[in-house]
Amino acid sequence: MRWPPPLAPGARVALVAPAGPLRDAGDLERAVANARTFGWEAVPGPNALARQGYFAGTDDARVADLNQALDDPAIDAIWCIRGGYGAMRLLGRVDYDALVRRPRALIGYSDITALHAAVGLSADLITFHGPTARSALTPYSRSFLEQAVRQDMPLCGSAPLARTVLRGRAEGRLAGGNLALLASLVGTPYAPDLDGAILVLEDIDEAVYRLDRMLVQLRLSGALSGVRGIVFGAFTNCPEASDDGSRTLDDLIDELAADLRIPCIAGAPFGHIADQWTLPLGAIAELDAASPALYVHR
């Protein structure tokens, strides 16, 4: 898969909201300010502040902003302002050919997983699972984002707070993102091919029994049969108890690793947390589960 050109100071970065609405104008102001701290020129989409229910405007408005950015030869990257829900509704209308003609960085996470998967398949392009533009960037997150989009190697690295689930080493393409989105893409033309991949997973606000169901869905679909390693990130606010009893997230993770018999770590720094890696999805990486560490290669 191709890397997009590195982003340097002076780059023109489109700020778009392809999913959920911004809370208020302050979200857009923070996104613009974040872009400027990297020396980039921020170009907000015309409908960035639009709202229709739980979307940032209508499907037509959101895909128009995205495609306008993709079709503009003066735009060097697309930085999604927030996640939420709604990107999946646009997948059949995105101008992927624009990214084939001129590769550019796409940055975001959570619901943006849908776009990462579709762009990877349709444009053979590496995209960046990293903070959304409205995020309050910590020095940690900022440094990993800047390192990734500038393509200063090596990326990621040691994860001292992560737990080794199953020892071993694996090399493969980074793939994945938000677990709920990956499960929802099963059976669609945009489901990522995970054969030979190191799978990265994160989520938020999902009860453990629902996470269980999503992982079982991926297993039953055959999507995990060729996965070489798994890196679980943060699963934020995911309650373990239900009316029928409780089961821990670690139970699910241990069970999956034992069933697949592949290297696995849990608690790596990405997902809905303040300090997070930026992961170049589609790039070749090596998982050392014993360390634990994840190294991205160019």
The catalytic residue among 116, 129, 141, 272 is 272
255 is an active site residue? no
Residues 250-262: what's their mean pLDDT? 97
Tally Cβ neighbours within 10 Å of residue 156: 25
Tally Cβ neighbours within 10 Å of residue 179: 26
202 is an active site residue? yes
CA-wise closest residue to 121 among 220, 227, 193, 39: 193
User: What is the total count of domains within the chain?
Assistant: 2
**Do the domain assignments include residue 246?**
yes
Residue-wise pLDDT tens digits, 26-64: 999 999 999 999 999 999 999 999 999 999 999 999 999
Q: How far apart are CA 244 and CA 260, in angstroms?
A: 27
User: Across the beta sheet with 279-281, what order do the strands follow?
Assistant: 41-44, 12-16, 77-80, 105-108, 127-129, 279-281
* Same domain (yes/no): 56, 76: yes
Q: Residue 68's domain spans which residues? A: 12-150
Residue-wise pLDDT tens digits, 146-165: 999 999 888 999 999 999 99
User: Where does a domain end: 150, 169, 192?
Assistant: 150
272 is an active site residue? yes
The catalytic residue among 116, 141, 202, 206 is 202
Q: Is the pLDDT of residue 242 over 80?
A: no
Residues 187-205: what's their mean pLDDT? 97
The catalytic residue among 110, 129, 141, 206 is 110
Residue-wise pLDDT tens digits, 115-155: 999 999 999 999 999 999 999 999 999 999 999 999 988 89
What's the pTM? 0.97
Q: Is the pLDDT of residue 254 over 80?
A: yes
* Same domain (yes/no): 182, 260: yes
Read off the pLDDT band of 6 (50, 70, 90). Answer: very high
